[in-house]
Amino acid sequence: MNSKNGDHGAGGDADQVKDHLRAAKDAAAQAARARAQQARDWASSRIDDLQQSVEAQPYRASAWALGAGFLAGILVMSLIRNSRR
């Protein structure tokens, strides 16, 4: 007998390998879920910070939004103009 559970030869080894692979898959899935939760928590925190900033300084936030929109418009127009050439 070569394995702990009484199996003989390669069959027991294959079962051990399968058990280790299942454990590794479960550990990877758990780590991925934990990472996803961390990402959700970080994003939620950033959104809350942004909302508080906008509420505290609405004019400044409006100026930033207007500037970003203006730059996006220039970029889109230059892309459209270059694609017509």
pLDDT, one tens digit per residue, over 8-27 is 566 789 999 999 999 999 99
Please tell me the distance from the alpha carbon of residue 74 to that of residue 67, in angstroms, as a whole number. 11
How sure is the predictor about 84, in pLDDT bands with cuts at 50, 70 and 90?
confident
Mean pLDDT of 28-45: 97
Which tokens sit at 85?
Answer: 């050439």
Mean pLDDT of 2-13: 60
* pTM higher than the cut 0.75: no
Identify the CA nearest to 18 among candidates 3, 34, 38.
Answer: 3
Where do the H-state alpha helices sit in 1-57? 9-56
